[in-house]
Amino acid sequence: MTFERSEVSAAFDRFVAVGDSGDWNAWADLHSPNGVWVERHLGTFNGREENRTAITSVMAMAPTEMSFPVEWSVIDGDRVVFYPWQVLPDPTGGGREFRFGCVTILTYAGEGLWSYQEDVYNPAEGERVITEWLEAGGSLPAGSGLLGD
């Protein structure tokens, strides 16, 4: 099916805004009922509810201060490819950023929903950045289990 670029662009803007809000239930709601999420480190999740369970579980372990600024994006038909940084702010309040990159691929399904998402990044780089952030004074949610805590 072909969608107007303006529709795909508006859905992408909403996707980014919801991700920045940290409301992971709302994030799951942006995926079609049979949507697939491929998360290279964690596996493949099939369907909105499996996506919801996975993202809320994963993000419960992550620092709440994370942000995901988009460096660039490309819209080609029903596909969006973009580069969101995974950013942790300086725990001391200074200007140091702790971040690692990711490439995300989305396929638009219409009606503001996405049928496919794939996140491609280096898990070792993510672990290194989070470790450096913790050493600088950052803290994870109690009992997160991330990095063996």
The pLDDT score that the predictor gives to residue 64 is 75
With beta carbons less than 8 A apart as the criterion, state whether 40 and 120 touch. Answer: yes
pTM above 0.85, yes or no: yes
What is the pLDDT at residue 36?
A: 98
Start-to-end CA distance of the chain, whole Å, equals 46
| Structural contact between residues 96 and 87, judged by C-beta atoms closer than 8 angstroms | no
Q: Strands 31-39 and 113-120, how do they pair?
A: parallel
pLDDT at position 71 is 98
The pLDDT of residue 149 is above 50: no
Closest to 13 (Cα-Cα) out of 66, 110, 80, 103: 80
What token pair was written down for 2?
A: 């072909």
Contact between residue 35 and residue 51 where contact means Cβ atoms under 8 Å apart: yes
Residue 61: pLDDT band (50, 70, 90) is confident
Q: Where are the domains of the chain?
A: 5-29+41-139
Identify how many contiguous H helices and E strands the chain contains and give both numbers.
Answer: 4, 8
Exposed, middle or buried by CB within 10 Å (0-12, 13-18, 19+), for 140?
Answer: middle
> Residue 41 — pLDDT band, cuts 50, 70, 90?
confident
Classify 146 as helix, strand or coil: helix
Report the share of the chain in percent with pLDDT over 90. Answer: 79
Most distant CA pair in the chain, distance: 49
Rounded to the nearest integer, the mean pLDDT of the chain is 92
Q: Does the pLDDT at position 145 exceed 80?
A: no
* Top-confidence residue, 20 or 33: 33
CATH topology of domain 5-29+41-139: Nuclear Transport Factor 2; Chain: A, (3.10.450)
CA distance 135 to 137: 5
pLDDT value of position 147: 52
In the predicted model, is pLDDT for residue 18 greater than 50? Answer: yes
Q: What is the pLDDT of residues 106-140, one digit of tens each?
A: 999 999 999 999 999 999 999 999 999 999 999 88
Q: Is the per-residue pLDDT at 31 higher than 50? A: yes
Q: Please tell me the predicted confidence (pLDDT) of residue 62.
A: 82
**CB neighbours of residue 82 within 10 Å:** 19
